[in-house]
Amino acid sequence: MVERTRKSWLNGAVGYEIYARSFADTTGDGFGDLNGIAEKLDYVKWLGIDIVWLTPIYPSPDHDHGYDVADYKAVRAEHGTVADAEALVERAHSLDLKVLFDIVPNHTSSDHAWFQKAIADPTSPERAMYLFRDPAPDGGPPNNWVSHFGGPAWTLDEASGQYYCHLFVAEQPDLDWRNPDVLDAFDDIYRFWFERGVDGFRIDVAHGLLKHPSFADNPKVSDPGPNAGPLAHFFSYDHKFDMDQDDNVEIFGRWQAIADEYDATLLAESGVTDHHRLARYVGPNALDLSFYLKPGWLEWDPATLIREHLDLAEIEPDGISWVISNHDQPRPVSRFTRSGPFDDTRSATGIARSLAVTTLQMALGGVPFLYYGEELGLVDAAIDPDKRQDPVATRNDSDGGEARDVARSPMPWDSSPFNGFSTTDSWIASEERPLHETVEAQRADESSPVYRYRKLIEARKAMPDMYEADFERLDSPSDEVAVVRRGSVLVIANLSAEEVTVTSAGSDWVLAFASSDGPCAVDASGVTVGPELSVILSAGSR
């Protein structure tokens, strides 16, 4: 395969995830739409963002908030039309913003025409596009694979007596990526949207496409206990046969070659945590970028956060999209401060910790992403427990501790009714946000979190060595402290609870950015940094 050249527009870029149904509603139905997103792009540009990623906007029966796609070449009516999508892309391009859509290739909706034909006629070509298998000798599922959302990863098609595979809910049947018809169909889907100006895709569950041909049982590695939720059960197995197969990369290379024709990019959503295996997902014969999701799962564990970031950055310093927040996890301001009642002090601590980690990510190359509202320091939304939407909670006997609704509430634009998101109740039953968490209030206060994030992005753009110069990991005074040098830039992330002095980089540095108002001093002894504080310094005489 011909080696590719990295897209110039990725260099130094910062991304922003928009949960499409929760960003802005212009029709008054409580459901976010494409025109609303287009109207709010001026704010995104003001923040300093370069790339906007939208969660799925396709028609869907909504068994998993749009990640069960019924038609990949159309737009859900509540979001708008294909013409609205084209207009949004055109508006973004006028602001020098790139737009990524979400593609969901591991599975379709059970409402998709392909699956409907597969169920209706076991001899149809569409049947072979999915993973139908005969029962085990006892009549049960073909193997012990489990769903992310609880229960077996197999559902019986009673009419034929075969089971079909679904790594998520039963209404999300998995496609057979060893079938050439599936490959050809998605080539066509990519071209459809590239022809309409879309600049790339985030690939949902990229590590799940291929299954091992043996369909063998996955090894059980732990006992999650009787009260564990569905995700704990899922991760009690070594997913040796249903996830992260070696030949996934061949599919990625095929897709990226299509994207390259349009100067477009592809970004994997990958749950792979082994750094060397994840690094396979990016490069000349694979994809431009891959998310590393593990920091978005972690609670406040400074040594682990430092190790996970630096160990991977040493292996792959250019192709990772770094995140601590997305639509599948509790918001980091809450996640990083689990103990105690949630008050202003705890919120301030969570914001400071989030900014400290994100500041480190800005020096690790690749394309870091913020999740909508992260720049406001939003805490988890207050969700009516009787009106939860996430299938992780609604389909299991659990207290909803793994439910993702808390990260999916409407963007708080102002303190008007419904926080300016809509003129009516939103699609998700959540309490309105207080004034200090709104865009309107924070843009009027230069000491607010949104300005700190804006200044962080400005600092990265002003110092291209942060993403262009060679990555160098320097000696650190603690395993809770990261010291990274990239050419003329030094970044120190002190996630510990103590002030530290770094001597490994000398003292010829000038402070360019601090993640909070904590102390930072540069003198002959080195650089002294306060607790839970990250700083960016530039080379030069003090």
**CA 451 remoteness from chain centre:** 23
Question: How far does the chain reach from its first CA to its final CA, in angstroms?
Answer: 50
Tell me how many degrees the CA angle 169-171-177 measures, rounded to the nearest 5.
Answer: 85
Q: How far apart (Å, rounded) are the C-alpha atoms in residues 273 and 264? A: 26
Cβ atoms 67, 56 nearer than 8 A:
yes
User: Strand pairing of 15-18 and 369-371?
Assistant: parallel
Cβ atoms 309, 317 nearer than 8 A:
no
Amino acid at 158: E
**CA 49 remoteness from chain centre:** 16
Look at residues 520, 523, 130 and name the one whose alpha carbon lies nearest to residue 359: 520
Q: Where are the alpha helices (DSSP H) in 207-266?
A: 230-234, 248-260
List 269, 374, 375, 437, catalytic entry = 269
Cβ atoms 131, 176 nearer than 8 A:
yes
- Three-class DSSP category at 269: coil
Active site residue 468: no
Number of Cβ within 10 Å of residue 196's Cβ equals: 15
Describe the crossing of helices 344-361 and 302-315 by its angle, rounded to 10 degrees.
Answer: 20
- Three-class DSSP category at 29: coil
Element (H, E) at 460: helix 449-462
**CA 460 remoteness from chain centre:** 21
Look at residues 487, 275, 496 and name the one whose alpha carbon lies nearest to residue 363: 487
Active site residue 204: yes
Cβ atoms 336, 354 nearer than 8 A:
yes
| 34 dihedral zone (left: phi>0; alpha: psi -120 to 50; beta) | alpha
List 171, 176, 204, 480, catalytic entry = 204
Number of Cβ within 10 Å of residue 444's Cβ equals: 9
Q: How far apart (Å, rounded) are the C-alpha atoms in residues 359 and 515? A: 7
Q: How many CA atoms lie within 13 A of 176 on its CB side?
A: 19
- Three-class DSSP category at 80: coil
Cβ atoms 347, 341 nearer than 8 A:
no
Structure letter (DSSP) for residue 298: -
Look at residues 53, 15, 41 and name the one whose alpha carbon lies nearest to residue 358: 15
Q: How far apart (Å, rounded) are the C-alpha atoms in residues 403 and 429? A: 14
Among all residues, which ones are annotated catalytic?
204, 269
